[in-house]
Amino acid sequence: MLSDDSIVAIVTAVIGSGGLGGLTGWFSQHLAKRKSILTRDDLQPIKEKLDRDFEHFRQVDDQVRDIKLIVLRQCLFARPRDQNAFTSALQSGEEYLRMGGNGVGHIRLDQLKREYEIRDELHDWNPDHKVTDE
């Protein structure tokens, strides 16, 4: 039969190995989690790239806005040849001013609006016929 010392030794060995296994398992999981945690230093290169990309896209947006203003200005100041061209110039003028176009654009848009109303009343869209609002 087993002595009390043998039973205590077996029970201690079983409990000890289970406890040690649990402790070892917890410790290895803790180390694995620690390896997978991102730190501020890990994120710094990503932040720098995002900052560069943001600045680049902001510059591209500014360039696109400038190009759009140029195209709208050209349409606004072009001499309309028919009713569709007048309508397009008026729409371009409204957008040009909405985007922050200059004061000369205001003057040209007012001029086009007056001429459009006169030509609409006269049903005369021939650009060779001069019209005045007198």
High-pLDDT (> 90) share of the chain, %: 54
CA-to-CA distance for 127 and 56, rounded, in angstroms?
45
CA-to-CA distance for 83 and 9, rounded, in angstroms?
105
Residue 131 binned pLDDT confidence (cut-offs 50, 70, 90): confident
Whether 115 contacts 83, CB under 8 Å = no
Per-state percent for the chain, helix, strand, coil, to nearest 5: 80, 0, 20
CA angle 64, 60, 73 (to 5 degrees): 15
CA-to-CA distance for 19 and 1, rounded, in angstroms?
27
Residue 28 binned pLDDT confidence (cut-offs 50, 70, 90): confident
Residue 126: the pLDDT is: 84
pLDDT (tens digit per residue) in 72-120: 999 999 999 999 999 999 999 999 999 998 889 999 999 999 999 999 9
